[in-house]
Chain A
Amino acid sequence: MVRVRCFTGMRRYLPDGRRGFEIELAEGADLRCLLDTMEVPPDIAPFIAVNGRKVAQDHRLRDGDEVVLFTHMEGG
C-alpha cells in the first residue's frame, strides 16, 4: 500500500474535494506508473517526494511509501 498526497495543481487529478488516496501498486511499479494511473499527462512534470525526499519518475515505489505530489511552486 502506498499513500499519495497531492497539493496545488496536482489536486485536479483527484476526484473533487479529495486530497489524497491509498493505492496498491504492482511489484516494481515506479512513479510513472502511479502518474499514469492518475491520468497525469506525460508533459506534466510534478515535483515528487517520497518519504520526504525528492525523486525522479523512474524511482521505484515500495510498500508503505508516502508520496507527495505538487506543481509550480515559486517565489519568496
Chain B
Amino acid sequence: MDGWMGKMLRVDLGSGEIRDEILDPQVAKDYIGGRGIGIYYLSREVDPACDPLSPENVLVMAAGPLTGTGAPTGARYMVMTKSPLTGAITCSNAGGRFPTELKRSGYDGIVFSGRSQHPVYLYIDAGQVALRDAAHLWGQTTHETTDRLLAETDPKARVACIGPAGEQLVRFAAIMNDKDRAAGRSGVGAVMGSKNLKAVVVRGQGRVSLADPARFKGFNTQILDKFKAAARETPLGLTINGTAGVVLTTQHLGVLPTKNWQQGTFDGWENIHGERLTEKYLVSNKACYACPIGCGRKTRVTDPDFAGEGEGPEYETIYAMGSNCMIDNLAAVVKANYLCNELGLDTITMGATVACAMELVDRGYLSEKVVGRPLVWGDGEALVELTRMTAYRKGFGNRLAEGSYRLAESCGHPELAMVSKKQEFPGYEPRGAQAMGLAYATSPIGGSHMRGDPAYFELFGIPQPVDPHQWKGKAKITKAFQDLSAVIDSAGLCIFFAVRNLAGKELDVPPVGILEYLNAATGLDYTLEELMRAGERIITAERRFLVRAGMSRKDDSLPRRLTHEPMPSGPAQGMVCHLEEMLDEYYQEQEWTPEGIPTENRLASLGLT
C-alpha cells in the first residue's frame, strides 16, 4: 500500500504474544487512519461497558496515511481507548517525531490488549519487536525514562511513555512523546499504566511510499508557497507567540474563562498573554515534523521559586492554570506545566481541578484542613505543589487525581465542576461563543475543543466570521467542523495548519486540500463526497460506542452555570448558552433521534450495521 504501511502490530500484554496484522485496504479507505482506525478497532474489540482500567480495555496508537509523508504537519498519531475519566471513548493526539518514526518502523499503528504481570516497554527496531522489562523505569519521570531508554536502545529512537501519574492511575494522566509532546486528555496515560506498559520505543529505518510522488510534490510546493507568501504578508500569530497568543482574542471577546468560569475576562490577562511568554521565557520555537508553523515553545524560567526548563505552555494551559485559578504569575503557570510534562499529567484537567477546589474552599464546601494547606484564588505556589502531589496521589493530591467532577461531587456540589461527560473544558466560554457549548456537549470525548473547533469561525473568523452570540444555525457549522476534524485527525495532520490551508472557504469546510494530498499519497482516488462520508462514519461510529456505553442526550450536557447563569460582566455580559435549542438542530443534522441515538438508516447509510 502507499501512504499506509499496510500493517498493524498486535501486542497482547497478558500472554506476551506479538504479531503483525494486515491492515484491510477497505478498512483503511473507509476509516482513513489515526482516529478512524482507532474507533474501528475499539468498536470490534472493546465492550463499551468494560472498566477502562481493566485488562479488557484496548489501547490503540495509530498514525495516519499522511503521517511521515512530508505533507505539512503530517506529524501526528492518535491514542484511542475507553477513558477512565469519562467512561466514553477517547482520542487524544500528539505530534513531535514519534509518530513519523512509528510509520518508518513499518506500522500504521499498534493495538495493545490485556495487562502485563510486571512493568514492560515495547521496543520496535527494523522489523524486530520485543517486550522488555521496565522495572528499572517504574517511578521515573517522562524525561528520565526517555533519556534512559535512548541510552539503552538507540539514541536515534523515539519514545512515548508515561510518568508517575500514569503509574498511579491518575484519571487524567497523559502519554508523553519526544519528552514534551502530549496525548494529554482523558487519562490515556492511566490506561497505559493499568496495563503495566511504561513506554513504547521505536526506531524506523524505512520510508513511507507515495503512489504518485510527482503529483504529491507539485501540490506540496503549491500549498507551501501560498502559505509562506501569506505569512510574509501578515506574520502568523501562532509562530510569533504560540497558541498562548490567543489570550488576546478570548479576553477581548469576553470568553477567557476566569475564576472557575465565574467570569469571562481576567484583569491580569496581560501578565499571562503569549507576548509576555515570548519576552520573558522563550528560548526558541519548536516545530513538529514537517511543520512550517512551529507553534511549540522551548522556554526557560529562572525565577528562583519556579526555575525550570522545558516546553510550553499552550493557551489551554494558560487559561486552566492562569485565569481560571486567577493566577497572573506566569512563572508559576510555566513551572506547573513543566511538572505536568515530566510527571505525565493533562494540564487542562489539572488546572481546572485546582480551580474547582479553589471555588469549593471559597464557598466553604471544602476545608483547608482537608486540603492540608491554604488554597485561595491566585496562589501560584499552591498550584505547583498540588500538581506534584496529584501525580503521586499524595495527601489531597489523591482527591485531585480523580478530576474535578468526582472532587466536587464528593463535596456535595457536582455543579461546580466545569465539565461535559466529566471532562474539563478547554478555554473558550460558551456563553459568549455559543457553538463552543454545542461542541463541548456533543464531543465524543467530553469537554474538548479538538474534536471540532468552533473557535475558528466564532472567534478567529476562519473560514468566515460568524456572530459568536447567535445560536441559530450553529448546529450545521459545528457538525461540518466535527466532520472535518475527524478527517484531519485520521489523516495524521495538525488542525492548526489544515483548517486554514487545506479546507474550503465555505462554512461547510470541505477538505479539498486533504483530498488532493490523500489521493497523491495513497493512489486511491477518493472523491470529495467519499472523504466527507468517512468523516461522518468516524463520528457516527464513535457515537455508537457511547450509546452502547449507556450514553444519550442526557450526557450531552453543560454545567448549569453556563446554561442558566447569565455572564456577569464583559463583552458577553447577560448571555447564557442555548444548548438545548442547538441540540435539537444538531441531532437533526446528524440524523440522530431527539434522544441523540443514530437512526438505523443513518448507520446503514454509513456501512455501520
Q: Hey, which chain B residues are within 8 Å of A53, CB to CB?
A: 252, 254, 571
Which of B315, B426, B449 gathers the greatest number of chain A CB atoms within 10 Å? B315
Q: Hey, which chain A residues are within 8 Å of B462, CB to CB?
A: 74
Whole-angstrom CA separation of A75 from B426 in the bound complex: 12
Whether B235 contacts A9 by the Cβ 8 Å rule is: yes
Chain B window 441-461, contacts with chain A (Cβ cutoff 8 Å), 1 for yes, 0 for no: 000000001000101100010
Measured CB to CB, the nearest residue on chain A to B241 is: A8
Which of B234, B265, B295, B570 interacts with A75 by CB under 8 Å? Answer: B295
Whether B496 contacts A7 by the Cβ 8 Å rule is: no
Whether A76 contacts B246 by the Cβ 8 Å rule is: yes
Whether B571 contacts A73 by the Cβ 8 Å rule is: no
Chain A window 42-73, contacts with chain B (Cβ cutoff 8 Å), 1 for yes, 0 for no: 00100101001110000000000000101111
Whether B245 contacts A76 by the Cβ 8 Å rule is: no
Whether A7 contacts B246 by the Cβ 8 Å rule is: no
Q: Hey, which chain B residues are within 8 Å of A75, CB to CB?
A: 237-238, 242-243, 245-246, 295, 315, 496
Whole-angstrom CA separation of A73 from B243 in the bound complex: 8
B316 at the interface (CB under 8 A from A): yes
Measured CB to CB, the nearest residue on chain A to B449 is: A76
Whole-angstrom CA separation of A68 from B248 in the bound complex: 9
Whether A73 contacts B249 by the Cβ 8 Å rule is: yes
Q: B residues 407-455 with Cβ under 8 Å of A? A: 426-428, 449, 453, 455
Whole-angstrom CA separation of A47 from B460 in the bound complex: 9
Q: Hey, which chain B residues are within 8 Å of A8, CB to CB?
A: 235, 237, 240-241, 245, 248, 275
B130 at the interface (CB under 8 A from A): no
Whether A74 contacts B496 by the Cβ 8 Å rule is: yes
Which of A7, A9, A54 interacts with B234 by CB under 8 Å? Answer: A9
Measured CB to CB, the nearest residue on chain A to B571 is: A53
A interface, how many residues as a size bin? 10 to 19
Measured CB to CB, the nearest residue on chain B to A43 is: B233
B interface, how many residues as a size bin? 35 or more
Q: A residues 11-57 with Cβ under 8 Å of B? A: 12, 44, 47, 49, 52-54
Whole-angstrom CA separation of A26 from B45 in the bound complex: 70
Whether A44 contacts B234 by the Cβ 8 Å rule is: yes
Q: Hey, which chain B residues are within 8 Å of A68, CB to CB?
A: 248, 252
Which of A68, A70, A73 gathers the greatest number of chain B CB atoms within 10 Å? A73
Which of A9, A12, A54 interacts with B252 by CB under 8 Å? Answer: A54
B389 at the interface (CB under 8 A from A): no
Whole-angstrom CA separation of A25 from B428 in the bound complex: 35
B236 at the interface (CB under 8 A from A): yes
Q: B residues 379-430 with Cβ under 8 Å of A? A: 426-428
Whole-angstrom CA separation of A71 from B237 in the bound complex: 7
B85 at the interface (CB under 8 A from A): no
Measured CB to CB, the nearest residue on chain B to A7 is: B248
Whole-angstrom CA separation of A74 from B293 in the bound complex: 12
Whether A52 contacts B428 by the Cβ 8 Å rule is: no
Whether A73 contacts B234 by the Cβ 8 Å rule is: no
Whole-angstrom CA separation of A72 from B449 in the bound complex: 19
Q: Hey, which chain A residues are within 8 Å of B237, CB to CB?
A: 8-9, 70-75
B148 at the interface (CB under 8 A from A): no
Q: Hey, which chain A residues are within 8 Å of B251, CB to CB?
A: 52
Chain B window 31-73, contacts with chain A (Cβ cutoff 8 Å), 1 for yes, 0 for no: 0000000000000000000000000000000000000000000
B311 at the interface (CB under 8 A from A): no
Contact of A76 with B241 at beta-carbon distance under 8 Å, contacts A8-B248, A9-B234, A49-B252 already known: no
Q: Hey, which chain B residues are within 8 Å of A49, CB to CB?
A: 252
Query: What's the least CB distance linking B575 to chain A, in Å?
Result: 13
Contact of A74 with B234 at beta-carbon distance under 8 Å, contacts A8-B240, A54-B252 already known: no
B340 at the interface (CB under 8 A from A): no
Query: What's the least CB distance linking B214 to chain A, in Å?
Result: 32
Contact of A52 with B238 at beta-carbon distance under 8 Å, contacts A76-B314, A76-B426, A76-B455 already known: no
Whole-angstrom CA separation of A22 from B252 in the bound complex: 20
Q: Hey, which chain A residues are within 8 Å of B241, CB to CB?
A: 8
Whether B249 contacts A47 by the Cβ 8 Å rule is: yes
Q: Hey, which chain A residues are within 8 Å of B246, CB to CB?
A: 73-76
Measured CB to CB, the nearest residue on chain B to A53 is: B571
Contact of A74 with B253 at beta-carbon distance under 8 Å, contacts A8-B241, A52-B570 already known: no
Whole-angstrom CA separation of A52 from B462 in the bound complex: 22
Which of B243, B252, B253, B427 gathers the greatest number of chain A CB atoms within 10 Å? B252
List 19 A-B residue pairs with CB atoms under 8 Å apart, sorted by A's residue number.
Answer: A7-B275, A8-B240, A8-B245, A9-B234, A9-B237, A47-B252, A52-B252, A53-B254, A54-B571, A70-B248, A70-B249, A72-B236, A73-B237, A73-B245, A74-B237, A75-B295, A76-B246, A76-B428, A76-B449
By a beta-carbon cutoff of 8 Å, the part of chain A in contact with chain B is 7-9, 12, 44, 47, 49, 52-54, 68, 70-76
By a beta-carbon cutoff of 8 Å, the part of chain B in contact with chain A is 234-238, 240-243, 245-246, 248-249, 251-254, 265, 275, 295, 314-316, 426-428, 449, 453, 455-456, 460, 462, 496, 500, 570-571
Question: Besides the contacts A68-B252, A74-B460, A75-B295, what 16 more A-B pairs have beta carbons closer than 8 Å?
Answer: A8-B240, A47-B249, A52-B254, A54-B252, A71-B237, A73-B246, A73-B460, A74-B237, A74-B456, A75-B242, A75-B243, A76-B246, A76-B314, A76-B315, A76-B316, A76-B426
